[in-house]
Amino acid sequence: MSVQKETVAHHDIGESPEGAQRAIARPAAPGAKTSVQTRHILFVALLALALFIPAFTKNFVVFQLTQTMVYAIAIVGLNLLTGFNGQFSLGHSAFYAVGAYTAAIMMEQMGVSYVWTLPAAGILCFILGFLFGLPALRLEGVYLALATFALAAATPQILKLSPLEQWTGGVQGIVITKPDAPFGLPLNQDQWLYYFTLIVGLILYLAARNLVTSRTGRALMAIRDNPIAARSMGVNTSLYKASAFGLSALYTGVAGALGAIIVQFVAPDSFTLTLSIGFLVGLVVGGVGWLPGALFGGAFLLFVPNIAENISKGLSGAVYGLLLILLIYVMPSGVAGFLQMIVSKARGGAK
Amino acid sequence: MSGASQNGAPLLEVRDVAVRFEGIVALDGVSFTLRKGQVLGLIGPNGAGKTTMFNCLSRLYTPTSGDVLFEGKSILGRPAHEMAAIGIGRTFQNVALFSRLTVRENVLIGGHSHTSSNFVGDSLRLPGSRHTESQLESTAQELIDYLDLNDVADRPVAGLPFGTQKRVELARALSARPKLLLLDEPAGGLNHDELHELGRLVRQIRDDRDVTVLLVEHHMGLVMSISDNVVALNFGKKIAEGPPDAVRKDPELIRAYLGGDAA
Ligand SMILES: Nc1ncnc2c1ncn2[C@@H]1O[C@H](COP(=O)(O)OP(=O)(O)OP(=O)(O)O)[C@@H](O)[C@H]1O
Ligand SMILES: [Mg+2]
């Protein structure tokens, strides 16, 4: 009986950091079925809520939610790399910056529609991420962290270089025109960008979820758990690790492009190491290895600095740190672990 | 049974393989041949070089000299990740599972080498990827049944008993449909009954699945009862070779084990 109970509990936390993303066909244990159904219902309910939010909230809130989703996309990207493939990166602000500048330059200097900037940013960042991932193959743990740190540190300075100024706008950056809603939809610009981001985010989220429950995703996790055994099982670890870097950069680059479009502005100092660390914090807050956690991480990234500022202007950094420590103390494995605990407690109580 | 094993074509030829680490000669000119359908026991005291030999055969190590031929072709020019696809599968002495994944996922990864898919197809669940997935799932389920792992199939392997983990490793190795299976101390941590069961299982795998087996094992009773031939190593050198009954009585082997006991 205890075995049975454990198995059921495990199904329920189906989307948990540890035993995450197990949509692989399970034997039809009743517990498993209801939990999959519950999750689907929850997903649809949340989606419905997301669709109606702009109808009864202020523009500024709509903008903030859009920004949350943008960060969440970047965090999903980082999660694919760190949570699922076990590679660290402090360099994701660089890919976010490349995405942002790709959007800005294409829209403002080449007159391309914002829609096309996303695939362009994604492809460019995939290539850059892959190329960066190749030499990074030789690096593990702290050394990889250091190499990616260098990437993050260099980015703002490269963006300021005078030979590039005619494209990047140098220190001033580039101002972007906000796009209008297409097809005469009765939405203002903020509302439209909210829906646009929602659609893009949803597609990217579902793709990530498909990936981590597939042969490719399992190969990534195998490398994370035991690279030597993965190799002996036929996984080309170098290729997969570099590709994971590329894919992760693709997500972050698309997020960067979206971020630039909604903020209507890019400038070098928006893309410092602080942003990279922010992504990492968001990842940990949401739960490493749990994809939906990215939304919580994104919200944390956006709102907690403001909250800290409201509590104390002078000591906002310290307050932020304190809030973070408090959160990690209460939820040591992020929101994912916290929800998992609540669910298993509720189960235990119900029995 | 043993008739067939005598006549089988050579599947694996190890030719004069030497491996040197700084200061240590782990293997010193070892040669042997493994015929299709055989079970070959590789024995020797601790540190004799058995695992090092396995690591050469799975291309994790490159021999300092010598050659390794599989189905008549040298494997030394190929990377480690191609070994599974050409038909060399293995288990690890200290169990090298993907600890955060479930038993089923571990076995699914075992099928990586004989299936194909890519990032794009898998992200978008294209028909090809779905086909691959269902193919992998049915192979995995078959092996989970075969090795009696249904009770634990959807649990993470990290918490499972050592003996069960060894069976998961076996299932994972078999799901690549190896022609040659390298088993590094599969009996480690097993009790008497399990040991007997393992012996039966290894022979059954050989017979049911057309798998040739190279077995490293300290448990002499097991090795001698299931091997068609035995190769004994000591300090990286081959000291005896032949059918179990002959090797068992080899004076040099007896000396190696008596001397080895002091360590
Ligand atoms: N990567 C390595 N670097 C340095 N020395 C090594 C390495 N791998 C193995 N050795 C050494 O090579 C020798 C043979 O080791 P090996 O693991 O092959 O022995 P074994 O026969 O498998 O022993 P056991 O029965 O204890 O598993 C030992 O002296 C070991 O310390
Ligand atoms: Mg060994």
Residue listed under structure tokens 């007159």: A111
* pLDDT in the model for residue A101: 94
B76 lies in some domain: yes
Q: Are residues B250 and B192 in the same domain?
A: yes
Closest partner residue to A229 among B96, B108, B155, by Cβ? B96
* pLDDT in the model for residue B148: 92
Contact A215 B60 (CB under 8 A): no
Calculate how close chain A gets to B261, using CA atoms only, in Å.
Answer: 31
Q: Give the number of the ligand closest to the Cα of residue B19.
A: 1
| A289 pLDDT higher than 70 | yes
Of B176, B191, B224, which residue constitutes the final position of a domain?
B176
pTM over 0.90: no
Contact A230 B98 (CB under 8 A): yes
pLDDT, tens digit (0-9, with 9 covering 90-100), for A92-107: 999 999 999 999 999 8
Contact B182, B88 (CB under 8 A): yes
- The residue-averaged pLDDT of B187-207 equals 88
Q: Are residues B41 and B167 in the same domain?
A: no
Q: How many domains does chain B have?
A: 2
In the structure, what pLDDT confidence band is assigned to residue B259 with cuts at 50, 70 and 90? low
Query: What span, in angstroms and rounded, lies between the C-alpha atoms of B142 and B87?
Result: 19
Q: Are residues B209 and B259 in the same domain?
A: yes
Residue with the smallest CA separation from ligand 1 atom 10 is B26
* pLDDT in the model for residue A350: 55
More confident residue, B237 or A145: B237
Residues within 8 A of B (CB atoms), A 251-270 only? none
| A5 pLDDT higher than 50 | no
- The residue-averaged pLDDT of A269-288 equals 89
* pLDDT in the model for residue A235: 95
In the structure, what pLDDT confidence band is assigned to residue A190 with cuts at 50, 70 and 90? confident
Cα–Cα distances in Å, from A160 out to A148, A157, A167, B54, B75?
A: 19, 5, 10, 54, 51
Q: Provide the CATH number for the domain around residue B209.
A: 3.40.50.300
* pLDDT in the model for residue B7: 57
* pLDDT in the model for residue A173: 78
| B2 pLDDT higher than 90 | no
B118 interfaces chain A, CB cutoff of 8 Å: yes
In the structure, what pLDDT confidence band is assigned to residue B155 with cuts at 50, 70 and 90? very high
B170 lies in some domain: yes
Q: Are residues B73 and B125 in the same domain?
A: no
Number of helices and strands in chain B (H, E): 11, 10
B247 lies in some domain: yes
pLDDT, tens digit (0-9, with 9 covering 90-100), for B29-61: 999 999 999 999 999 999 999 999 999 999 999
| B260 pLDDT higher than 60 | no
- The residue-averaged pLDDT of A191-206 equals 93
Q: Are residues B185 and B220 in the same domain?
A: yes
B93 lies in some domain: no
| A65 pLDDT higher than 70 | yes
Give contacts of A35 with chain B, Cβ < 8 Å.
none
pLDDT, tens digit (0-9, with 9 covering 90-100), for B60-84: 999 999 999 999 999 999 999 999 9
Q: Give the number of the ligand closest to the Cα of residue B42.
A: 1
| A114 pLDDT higher than 80 | yes
Calculate how close chain A gets to B150, using CA atoms only, in Å.
Answer: 9
| B185 pLDDT higher than 60 | yes
- Give the pair of three-digit tokens for residue B242: 């032949």
Q: Please report the ipTM that was assigned to this predicted complex.
A: 0.91
Range of the domain at B137: 100-176
Contact B174, B212 (CB under 8 A): no
Edge-to-edge strand ranges of the sheet holding B39-43: B88-90, B180-184, B212-216, B39-43, B229-234, B237-242
* pLDDT in the model for residue A121: 96
- What is the residue-averaged pLDDT of chain A? 83
B94 lies in some domain: no
Gap between the terminal Cα atoms of chain B: 38
Q: Are residues B235 and B122 in the same domain?
A: no
- What is the residue-averaged pLDDT of chain B? 90
* pLDDT in the model for residue B57: 96
Residue with the smallest CA separation from ligand 1 atom 30 is B47
Closest by Cα among A235, A15, A82 to B106: A235
B198 lies in some domain: yes
| B5 pLDDT higher than 50 | no
Counting residues of chain B whose pLDDT is more than 90, the rounded percentage is 76
* pLDDT in the model for residue B215: 95
**CA of B55, closest atom in ligand 1:** 18
Q: Are residues B164 and B182 in the same domain?
A: no
Q: Are residues B167 and B226 in the same domain?
A: no
Query: What span, in angstroms and rounded, lies between the C-alpha atoms of B230 and B217?
Result: 11
Cα–Cα distances in Å, from A97 out to A153, A164, A236, A244, A269?
A: 12, 14, 30, 19, 10
Q: Are residues B2 and B81 in the same domain?
A: yes
pLDDT, tens digit (0-9, with 9 covering 90-100), for A20-47: 333 333 333 334 455 778 888 888 888 8
pLDDT, tens digit (0-9, with 9 covering 90-100), for A321-339: 888 888 888 887 888 888 8
For residue B241, the tally of other CB atoms under 10 A from its CB is 17
Residue listed under structure tokens 């067939």: B4
Of B176, B194, B213, which residue constitutes the final position of a domain?
B176
Contact A234 B83 (CB under 8 A): yes
**CA of B185, closest atom in ligand 1:** 27
pLDDT, tens digit (0-9, with 9 covering 90-100), for B104-144: 999 999 999 999 889 999 999 999 999 999 999 999 999 99
Q: Are residues B171 and B191 in the same domain?
A: no
Residue with the smallest CA separation from ligand 1 atom 29 is B47
Give the bridge partners for B156, in sequence order: B102
Residue listed under structure tokens 């359908």: B37
Give contacts of B80 with chain A, Cβ < 8 Å.
231-232
Give the bridge partners for B35, in sequence order: B10
Phi, psi angles (nearest 5°) of residue B87: 115, 15
- Give the pair of three-digit tokens for residue A306: 């403001």
Residue with the smallest CA separation from ligand 1 atom 17 is B51
Counting residues of chain A whose pLDDT is more than 70, the rounded percentage is 89
| A12 pLDDT higher than 60 | no
Q: Are residues B184 and B77 in the same domain?
A: yes
Q: Going along A205-334, which residue ranges are E strands?
A: 265-266
- The residue-averaged pLDDT of A66-80 equals 96
B92 lies in some domain: no
In the structure, what pLDDT confidence band is assigned to residue B194 with cuts at 50, 70 and 90? confident
Of B160, B176, B192, which residue constitutes the final position of a domain?
B176
Query: What DSSP character marks residue A233?
Result: T
Q: Are residues B222 and B262 in the same domain?
A: yes
Pocket of ligand 1 (CB under 6 A): B 21, 24, 26, 44, 46-52, 93
Query: Which segment of A227-231, A313-317, B117-121, B245-249 scores lowest on mean pLDDT?
Result: A313-317
Contact A211, B102 (CB under 8 A): no
Which residue in A has a C-alpha nearest to residue B169's C-alpha?
A229
* pLDDT in the model for residue B150: 95
Residues within 8 A of A (CB atoms), B 71-100 only? 79-85, 89-90, 92, 96-100
* pLDDT in the model for residue A35: 73
* pLDDT in the model for residue A140: 73
- The residue-averaged pLDDT of A203-211 equals 95
| A3 pLDDT higher than 50 | no
Domain ranges across chain A: 60-176+188-267
| Sequence-distant (≥ 6) Cβ neighbours of residue B178 within 8 angstroms | B84, B87, B88, B89, B211
Q: How far is the CA of B22 from the centre of ligand 2 (A)?
A: 18
